[in-house]
Amino acid sequence: MSFCAPLNSYSKQTLSDRLGKYDSDVKVDWDDFNDWLNKIEANKPSINVAAQLGHGVLRSFVMGMKAVSANPDDLEGMKKVVRSSIDQGILGFSTGLWYAPGSYSHTEEIAEITKVVAEHDLLYSSHIRSESDDSSGLFPAHAEAIEIGRRTGAKIQISHVKSVGPKFWGRGNELLEGMYRAREEGIDVAGDQYPYEWSSTPTSGCMFPRWSLEGGREKTLERLKDKSIREQIKSETVNYINRFHGAEGCVLAEFSSDKRLEGMSLSEISEEFSCTAEEAAMRLYEISEGSFVLHSMEEKDIDTIGMSDIIAVASDGNSLRNTGPLSSGKPHPRSYGTNTRFIEDMVVNKKLVPISKAIYRMTALPASRLGLKKRGEIKKGYFADINIFKPEELRENATYVDPHQYSIGMKYVIVNGNIALKDSKKIAGRFGQVIRSKEG
């Protein structure tokens, strides 16, 4: 979901609701990527900013939240928006095929849209259709992403490579084998990973079956009022909860309607509500959308996937800070500690990845996948985006209990040639740039 663009009346309301959770006074006075990126540029970001077009927003922009296949007119409408968004500077096209409305699409729809992206040598990245034993299933979902590359010739990025649930724990090596075989075939597929056993996603994304989300939140709430439909949803919610090491492995991360519940497990919330865990999940959603941190993976798979040279290190996190409106809730610590954790755990402690390869997979690899010009390497004529540190001095401080904590040990951060941080302390000033695909 590229929440900020493109916008129509429906997506503007969704964005405004999202901003409302942060008590934001930002006026949504733009409609497309060009105006949104210009607005960021005018406010001078602290970091470099680039955008992808999200299929969920694209589909709802053209088709609404209907659980139907795209017809030829729908496809042409979506491709038209993709072309205009490319002209405005997006770096690629992303899908969230597990989430509504992306989950309503067929492979043919995604392939047709991705052909436009491939014509411009931009990236197709996908939060695939399944990461466990739901929907298509994990391995067919990986195969679908690879098939998109086979049909279109586009660069394929699988975000985020993981094995979720007891049926797939210990099988991360099989996912990599499939990707390597595709590369031998000539398909340009790679992936990314955040080095944690816990994941995070909105309540609707992790607790409810896809069919119950058709039409958006209001329709889902109507279904929950029907006793028989509620029971159907509840039976599937039980399976989701069990996939996350049970109710104890589902911790409420963000719930602006009752912050007292943030940081509590679904097991604890069910005791608070005097009901079952699955009923508690429904009651939370009936109050408002929130998000969970979920114990969905196991260390063996994290290590196996994390050792691969085709897997970039990526947080899958949000832009947060430890004060002000962005410091709310108990979010996943990955937004603060991903890169530090990878170096501290995989490089220094376990010695599974050499420091040179770790740095490559945080810099040059993702830069090349995204098509960033003159970034990701230290070369004459390149933008000077540089971190200076000693690996053994880095420490991740963010935890699941207290996530709003910055890592320590970074000597310098240089952004576009300007010192932005020294000895783990921010230097006054903003030195980031908005990066567009058309830039040389």
Least confident range from 38-42, 143-147, 228-232, 323-327: namely: 323-327
Residues 50 and 158 in one domain: yes
Which structural domain, as residue segments, surrounds residue 271?
A: 201-295
Residues 391 and 408 in one domain: yes
109 confidence band (pLDDT: 50, 70, 90): very high
Residues 217 and 286 in one domain: yes
Residues 409 and 280 in one domain: no
How many other CB atoms are found less than 10 A from the CB of residue 436?
19
Q: Look up the CATH number of the domain holding residue 152.
A: 3.20.20.140
pLDDT of res. 300: 96
Answer yes or no: is pLDDT of 439 > 80. Answer: no
Percent share of the chain, pLDDT over 70: 99
Half-sphere exposure (Cβ direction) of 227: Cα atoms closer than 13 Å: 0
How many other CB atoms are found less than 10 A from the CB of residue 432?
18
**Any domain includes 431:** no
φ, ψ dihedrals at 116, nearest 5° = -65, -40
Residues 210 and 251 in one domain: yes
Domain boundary among 153, 170, 194: 194
Distance from first CA to last CA of the chain, Å, rounded?
27
CA dihedral over 365, 177, 102, 193, signed as positive or negative: negative
Residues 166 and 207 in one domain: no
φ, ψ dihedrals at 237, nearest 5° = -60, -35
Assess contact for 9 and 104: CB atoms under 8 A.
no
Kindly report, residue by residue over 45-56, the tens digit of the pLDDT: 999 999 999 999
Residues 346 and 372 in one domain: yes
Residues 175 and 225 in one domain: no
Domain boundary among 230, 265, 295: 295
Residues 181 and 64 in one domain: yes
Kindly report, residue by residue over 111-123, the tens digit of the pLDDT: 999 999 999 999 9
φ, ψ dihedrals at 200, nearest 5° = -155, 145
Distance of CA 158 to the CA centre of its chain: 11
Q: Give the separation between CA 100 and CA 366, rounded to whole angstroms.
A: 27
**Any domain includes 239:** yes
Kindly report, residue by residue over 307-366, the tens digit of the pLDDT: 999 999 999 998 899 998 889 888 999 999 999 999 999 999 999 999 999 999 999 999
What is this structure's pTM?
Answer: 0.91
Query: Taking CA 301 as the corner, what is the angle to CA 207 and CA 208, rounded to the nearest 5 degrees?
Result: 5
Q: Give the separation between CA 13 and CA 11, rounded to whole angstroms.
A: 5
Kindly report, residue by residue over 237-262, the tens digit of the pLDDT: 998 898 888 999 999 999 988 989 99
Q: Give the separation between CA 397 and CA 347, rounded to whole angstroms.
A: 17
User: Structural domain tally of the chain?
Assistant: 3
Residues 170 and 67 in one domain: yes
**Any domain includes 76:** yes
What is the secondary structure of 29-84 as a DSSP string? ---SHHHHHHHHHHT--SS-B---EEHHHHHHHHHTT--S---HHHHHHHHHHHHH
Residues 181 and 205 in one domain: no
**Any domain includes 333:** yes
User: What b/e sequence results for 25-55 when a residue is b if at least 16 CB atoms lie within 10 Å of its CB, and e otherwise?
Assistant: eeebebebbbebbebeeeeeeeebebbbbbb
Contacts of 346 (CB under 8 A, 6+ apart): 195, 303, 306, 307, 352, 353, 358
Average pLDDT, the chain: 94
Answer yes or no: is pLDDT of 440 > 70. Answer: no
Domain boundary among 145, 179, 194: 194
pLDDT of res. 136: 84
Q: Which residue has the tokens 């043919």?
A: 108
Q: Give the separation between CA 57 and CA 64, rounded to whole angstroms.
A: 9
Least confident range from 89-98, 236-245, 301-310: namely: 236-245
